[in-house]
Amino acid sequence: MKHSNIPIFIPELACPHQCIFCNQAKISGQQNIPQPQDIPGIIDTYLSTMNDDREIEVAFFGGSFTGIPVTMQEQYLIQANRYLQEGKINGIRLSTRPDYINEHILELLKHYDVTTIELGAQSTNDDVLLASGRGHKSDAIKRASEAILSKGFHLGLQMMIGLPHDTYERSSQTVEDIISLGADNTRIYPTLVIKGTQLAKLYALEKYHPLDLETAVSWTKEFYLRFESQDITILRVGLHASEELSYEKSLLAGPYHKSFMELMMTEIWADILQRKLSNLHHQELTLEVNPTQINYVWGYAGKNKGFFSKQNLNIKIKGNPLLKKYDLIF
């Protein structure tokens, strides 16, 4: 079944820390903060476009939902919960900081039937967290994760690659920690340099160098496959495209691509094709793959067609819904 979020961005409303990379209004493309009374209109607008059978969640994004005053949390949650009780949505999820989780907060969220809590872990390396201005250490991530799972919520742990003081090894360890902490889902965000952030100042002083696109895709590909191997759902790789998030508007530097997911999947399939077809030459082949993977087999902008040409393979691709995601038969 398809899954869709109804995203409600509440940027920086409660966050006491201006993380070095963060300008939520620019990242989300949203300057105005929706008020509780605005929530029904937002939900109704999205629901009017969702006519097929799918699982729908209202998602309060922005990174610090449980830090806003409890009375305001309740006002937002009451509005979303009404749609849940009426059967118009299937769940409520929210994102928050690890150090904004406690027993009282979890009881409140359980009362309003919140289903998933995502923590902006970003990294489990204390040096990276300090350099990024997160305002907490890795032990806060561990405590919050354990508390969330103990109350029966689904746990999401988001990570960022290429933060200040980050390395491949440190990001790789973050992946392992997210797995061991019992996350149900994750998101992988390459770090971008956004106007109006502390990171932009460091970048201007040449004290911060973002990952290049090729490296970011390579790291993300590996981490994505490791999460998949542990049955952890990857909800997103790369930031969603918005009018604000462009080099003409707010983006200064970093591995941003509006089709980052497609780039990564192209590389996954390039590896599969190399393993399975590298010994074949001068043949006509019909490849069967899961229908969801056909575009990725050809590759973003037809990139993998170059491999077929190099091998002198005349390729046709056929969808077979009985095949698993990375199955390939010919």
- Mean per-residue pLDDT of the chain: 92
Report yes or no on 304 lying in a domain.
yes
What pLDDT does 172 receive? 98
Q: What's the order of all strands across the beta sheet hosting 233-237?
A: 2-9, 54-61, 91-96, 116-122, 154-161, 185-190, 233-237
SS3 64: coil
Q: Other C-beta atoms within 10 Å of 329: how many?
A: 11
SS3 182: coil
Average pLDDT over every residue of 318-323: 98
User: H/E element holding 56?
Assistant: strand 54-61
Residue 238 tokens read as 């790369």
Average pLDDT over every residue of 283-295: 97
Q: Are residues 14 and 158 in the same domain?
A: yes
Give residue 267's Cα distance to chain centre. Answer: 18
Count structural domains, the chain.
2
Question: What confidence tens digit (pLDDT) does each residue in 151-205 have?
Answer: 999 999 999 999 999 999 999 999 999 999 999 999 999 999 999 899 999 999 9
Q: Are residues 182 and 39 in the same domain?
A: yes
Question: What confidence tens digit (pLDDT) does each residue in 201-260 have?
Answer: 999 999 999 999 999 999 999 999 999 999 999 999 998 766 556 666 789 999 999 999
Average pLDDT over every residue of 270-289: 96
Amino acid present at 224:
Y
Place of tokens 């990725």: 296
Average pLDDT over every residue of 108-122: 97
What pLDDT does 189 receive? 97
Q: Exposure of 323 by Cβ count < 10 A (0-12 exposed, 13-18 middle, 19+ buried)?
A: middle
Indicate the pairing of strand 193-194 with strand 251-253: antiparallel
Q: Other C-beta atoms within 10 Å of 263: how many?
A: 24
What pLDDT does 32 receive? 75
Cα–Cα distances in angstroms (integers) from residue 305 to residues 132, 281, 308, 316, in the given order:
40, 14, 5, 11
Residue 317 confidence (pLDDT) above 60: yes
Q: Which domain holds residue 99?
A: 2-258
C-alpha to C-alpha distance for 286 and 191, rounded to whole angstroms: 40
Report yes or no on 88 lying in a domain.
yes
Report yes or no on 57 lying in a domain.
yes
Average pLDDT over every residue of 99-115: 97
Q: Other C-beta atoms within 10 Å of 115: how many?
A: 17
Q: Are residues 282 and 144 in the same domain?
A: no
Q: Are residues 187 and 288 in the same domain?
A: no
Report yes or no on 266 lying in a domain.
no
Report yes or no on 326 lying in a domain.
no
What pLDDT does 181 receive? 98
Residue 28 confidence (pLDDT) above 70: no
In percent, the amount of the chain with pLDDT more than 70 equals 92
What pLDDT does 17 receive? 58
Report, in this order, helix, strand and coil percent for the chain, each rounded to 5: 40, 20, 35
What pLDDT does 60 receive? 96
Q: Are residues 181 and 292 in the same domain?
A: no
Alpha helices in the chain (DSSP H): 24-28, 39-47, 70-85, 103-111, 126-131, 138-150, 168-180, 198-204, 213-229, 260-277, 294-298, 305-310
Picking from 71, 89, 69, 68, the residue whose alpha carbon sits closest to that of residue 80 is 89
Give residue 71's Cα distance to chain centre. Answer: 29
Residue scoring higher pLDDT (31 or 80): 80
Report yes or no on 271 lying in a domain.
no
Give residue 294's Cα distance to chain centre. Answer: 23
What pLDDT does 64 receive? 87
